[in-house]
Amino acid sequence: MDHACAFFDIKSSSPDTSQPGSAAFPAWHDAPDTVFSSRSNTFIPQSVRSSMELLFAPMEGITDGIFRTTHASVFGGIDHYYIPFISPTVNGHFDRREMRLLFPSDKALLSAVPQILCKDPSLFLHCTDMLRELGFMEVNLNVGCPSGTVTAKGKGSGMLLDLDSLKRFLDQIYTSASLPVSVKTRIGYVSEDEWPALLDIYKNYPIEKLIIHPRTRQDFYKGPIHRHALESLDDLPFPWIINGDLTTTELIYQAVQQYHCTGVMVGRGFLTNPGLARQIKTGQKMCLSELVTFHDTLFRAYQAELPPNAVLGRMREITKYFSFCFAHSDKAIKRLFKAKSIEQYLDSAALLFSLPFIDDPCYPSSADVES
């Protein structure tokens, strides 16, 4: 088993393979479902790398303070982590779960961005004030969550059902918010035909960054993304970011080149290959020993903080993404899902980590691990 870190081999003699449109460069979303071959011939030119933002997507139940701090110390490469949503209530304070979500956060990680799921402008503004006092420098509005319990309350992507209310909400928060506000949005509730009208609304506000997940609420996280929604966005008056199914260096580069966005936000791709952002920035690929260190550090940190059942749930949620880093992982993953105790979990993780490590792993677009 290869425990050595392999550095990027930039093949300047074959630059064509890195260019969108070349035969070796799979079109975004035309890429095969499962790509386990080495992709190390692709590199992103320094000029693009240095100007492109790499954002870690908020992932409820996964990317809490412990996860982000550990990821930053083992791998790095992320410009900003977006924190899973907080739902402010009239209580006007953060409970223990929310504080765990926001922290631990060393000073460097105060560049992480908390996300607010809310349709009441006064709650949003109060929550923003509290986050500012804690030291955060941006807040993000969730206009994307597809969960039925959230949309039924008119929150998340439920906000897309009533554009007049959305406008009133945006009027108030952009008049009074004490921090810059970015927005993470889907392109419609039912159909991509809703996107032009929604975009016309967004254009009226000083949005810090518009993060676009080019699916509708009906799509949840599956099916092809709506590429047309990303065309003709050159005249947007604010920076914008693409999110969704960007799982490899090639796909990220292609998206940035093709659509001229400011950067990308990646969720499942960074969970499967936690070294991907660093690889894009420096060429240094993730190696097995780093993945093991990442896993073990997370495990110890959660064990120190949470009861055994919660540790089990949290680690299972994270480790299932690592299954795509190993060949023949079916048996280990079955054991992982059956694990009822910490001991059984550790057995299944040990089995997984003993399997052949895949060079340059990626989240396969056909996978369905989130549900």
Are 67 and 42 a contacting pair, CB within 8 Å? no
Q: Considering the complex, what minimum distance in angstroms separates the CB of residue 365 from ligand FMN?
A: 9
Are 339 and 345 a contacting pair, CB within 8 Å? yes
Return the number of the residue (244 or 275) whose C-beta is nearest ligand FMN.
244
Nearest to 287 by CA among 360, 362, 363, 364: 360
Measure the CA dihedral 348/353/358/364, to 10°.
30
Q: Considering the complex, what minimum distance in angstroms separates the CB of residue 160 from ligand FMN?
A: 14
Q: Judged by CB under 6 A, does residue 114 bind ligand FMN?
A: no
Return the number of the residue (139 or 288) whose C-beta is nearest ligand FMN.
139
Q: Considering the complex, what minimum distance in angstroms separates the CB of residue 246 from ligand FMN?
A: 6
Q: By rule CB under 6 A, what string of x and - marks binding of each residue 303-342 to ligand FMN?
A: ----------------------------------------
Work out the number of other CB atoms within 10 angstroms of the CB of residue 90.
8
Return the number of the residue (155 or 288) whose C-beta is nearest ligand FMN.
155
Which residues have C-beta within 8 Å of that of residue 157, sequence separation ≥ 6?
Answer: 143, 144, 145, 146, 150, 151, 186, 189, 216, 217
The vertex-331 CA angle with 293 and 340, nearest 5°, equals 75
Q: Return the DSSP state at 357.
A: B
Amino acid present at 16: D
Q: Considering the complex, what minimum distance in angstroms separates the CB of residue 1 from ligand FMN?
A: 28
* Piece of the chain touching ligand FMN by CB under 6 A; list 124-132, 137-145, 198-206, 351-359: 137-145
Return the number of the residue (121 or 267) whose C-beta is nearest ligand FMN.
267
Which of 71, 184, 217, 285 lies at the binding interface for ligand FMN (CB under 6 A)? Answer: 184
Q: Judged by CB under 6 A, does residue 80 bind ligand FMN?
A: no
Nearest to 311 by CA among 323, 322, 301: 301
Q: Considering the complex, what minimum distance in angstroms separates the CB of residue 243 from ligand FMN?
A: 5
Kindly write down the DSSP assignment for every residue of 234-246, as one continuous string: TT-SS-EEEESS-
Cα(190)–Cα(158) distance, integer angstroms: 11
Name the residue number minimizing CB distance to ligand FMN: 267
Longest Cα separation, the chain: 62
Q: Considering the complex, what minimum distance in angstroms separates the CB of residue 342 from ligand FMN?
A: 22
Which of 142, 151, 323, 348 lies at the binding interface for ligand FMN (CB under 6 A)? Answer: 142
> Total binding residues for ligand FMN by CB under 6 A?
23
Which of 53, 305, 359, 370 lies at the binding interface for ligand FMN (CB under 6 A)? Answer: 370
Cα(131)–Cα(70) distance, integer angstroms: 22
Question: Of 5-64, which residues contact ligand FMN (CB under 6 A)?
Answer: 57-61
Are 180 and 174 a contacting pair, CB within 8 Å? no
Strand partners, 139: 181
Which of 104, 221, 282, 358 lies at the binding interface for ligand FMN (CB under 6 A)? Answer: 221
Question: Of 240-299, which residues contact ligand FMN (CB under 6 A)?
Answer: 243-246, 266-269
Q: Judged by CB under 6 A, does residue 68 bind ligand FMN?
A: no
Enumerate binding residues for ligand FMN (CB under 6 A): 57-61, 84-85, 115, 142, 144-145, 184, 213, 221, 243-246, 266-269, 370
